[in-house]
């Protein structure tokens, strides 16, 4: 028991290391201008393109990206606190999300998905709070509204709407009324966009978004040019599979509601990977979204199984990602 107590992750030394390594990664990225200037993305929209033109300099873009990352991590922490996704109160979801976001060079300094992650987190919270509530029309409306708003900056987020309908069905909150309210949530956003387009007599927002959504292309396994990206993704997938296997083999330790929430997050991760495979030009963005459920599943694994194996895996994880980033920075 005493040895188990020593393997705690809520320790000042752990917090200090993870915060410090994230700061070092961002400073190193800033020093080599990683991802700057913020470019218009093939999967972005006119809203995102115009937003990119408002960034005055590199420092502003990096500060904004860091703030968005920290804000999304804090939302993960608050959601875990409010919804009890993990049995104990811990900062690990925040810290692990920050680690995943700070050690992937494709996320620097910010992408359209930086806003998309924010919208998706808020949408997931609305979905989870509609658990076993067939009269949650307002929450499902808000869920779809948030997804539609995120699509104004990154249109591919609309592909996650069917996933939320599956989640509503699993949570017993899908009824004809809640389904219609979710559709109305999307239509509300695009009704205003249509009004703006008619006023400006510029319908390029719709045409460019449709072209981007139909731009399918299978992601090629290119080890020579993207070996670090693939190594990071493979490690992430292996760790997520271990985390989910732990959930399935110890079902009695979590409440039914928590297990269903965690299963949805696992499905979200798989959904993002499938889209990663069919959208080569937007593959990095889907990895960005997948890091959100991955951080929760990581944290659940490390806090629920406190033994030498998971502790060793935790140490490997918090060392592996930073080393991989610095190897890539060294080759720039």
Domain containing residue 172? 2-330
- C-alpha 134/C-alpha 168 separation (Å) is 9
**Rounded to an integer, what is the distance from CA 292 to the centroid of its chain?**
3
Name the pTM for this structure.
Answer: 0.90
User: What residues are paired with 44 via a beta bridge?
Assistant: 154
Using a pLDDT cut of 70, give the percent of the chain over it. Answer: 91
Structural domains counted in the chain: 1
Distance CA 142, CA 163 (A): 15
Read off the pLDDT band of 271 (50, 70, 90).
Answer: very high
Residues 285-312 pLDDT 10s: 889 899 999 999 999 888 887 778 888 8
Q: What is the pLDDT of residues 137-148, one digit of tens each?
A: 899 999 999 999
Cα–chain-centroid distance for residue 162?
A: 17
Model confidence band, residue 3 (pLDDT cutoffs 50, 70, 90): very low
Residue pair 76/121 in contact (Cβ under 8 Å)? The answer is yes
Nearest to 7 by CA among 313, 240, 247: 313
């Amino acid at each position: 028991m005493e040895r188990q107590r020593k393997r705690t992750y809520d320790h000042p030394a752990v917090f200090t290391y993870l915060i410090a390594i994230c700061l070092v990664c961002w400073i190193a990225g800033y020093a080599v201008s990683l991802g700057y200037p913020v470019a218009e993305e093939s999967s972005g929209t006119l809203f995102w393109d115009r937003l990119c033109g408002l960034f005055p300099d590199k420092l502003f873009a990096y500060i904004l990206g860091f703030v968005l990352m920290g804000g999304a991590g804090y939302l993960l922490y608050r959601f875990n606190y409010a919804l009890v996704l993990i049995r104990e109160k811990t900062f690990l979801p925040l810290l692990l999300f920050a680690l995943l976001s700070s050690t992937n060079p494709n996320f620097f300094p910010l992408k359209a998905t930086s806003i998309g992650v924010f919208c998706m987190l808020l949408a997931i919270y609305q979905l989870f709070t509609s658990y076993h509530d067939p009269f949650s029309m307002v929450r499902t409306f808000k869920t779809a509204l948030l997804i539609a708003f995120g699509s104004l900056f990154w249109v591919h987020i609309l592909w996650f709407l069917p996933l939320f309908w599956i989640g509503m069905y699993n949570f017993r909150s899908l009824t004809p009324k809640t389904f219609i309210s979710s559709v109305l949530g999307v239509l509300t956003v695009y009704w205003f966009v249509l009004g703006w387009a008619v006023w400006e007599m510029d319908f390029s927002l719709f045409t460019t978004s449709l072209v981007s959504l139909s731009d399918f292309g299978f992601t090629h396994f290119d080890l020579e040019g993207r070996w670090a990206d693939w190594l990071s993704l493979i490690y992430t997938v292996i760790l997520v599979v271990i985390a989910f296997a732990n959930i399935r083999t110890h079902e009695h330790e979590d409440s039914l509601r928590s297990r269903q929430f965690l299963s949805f997050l696992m499905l979200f991760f798989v959904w993002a990977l499938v889209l990663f495979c069919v959208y080569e030009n937007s593959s990095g963005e889907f990895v960005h979204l997948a890091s959100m459920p991955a951080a929760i599943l990581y944290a659940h694994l490390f806090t629920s199984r406190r033994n030498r194996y998971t502790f060793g895996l935790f140490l490997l994880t918090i060392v592996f990602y930073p080393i991989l980033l610095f190897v890539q920075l060294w080759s720039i």
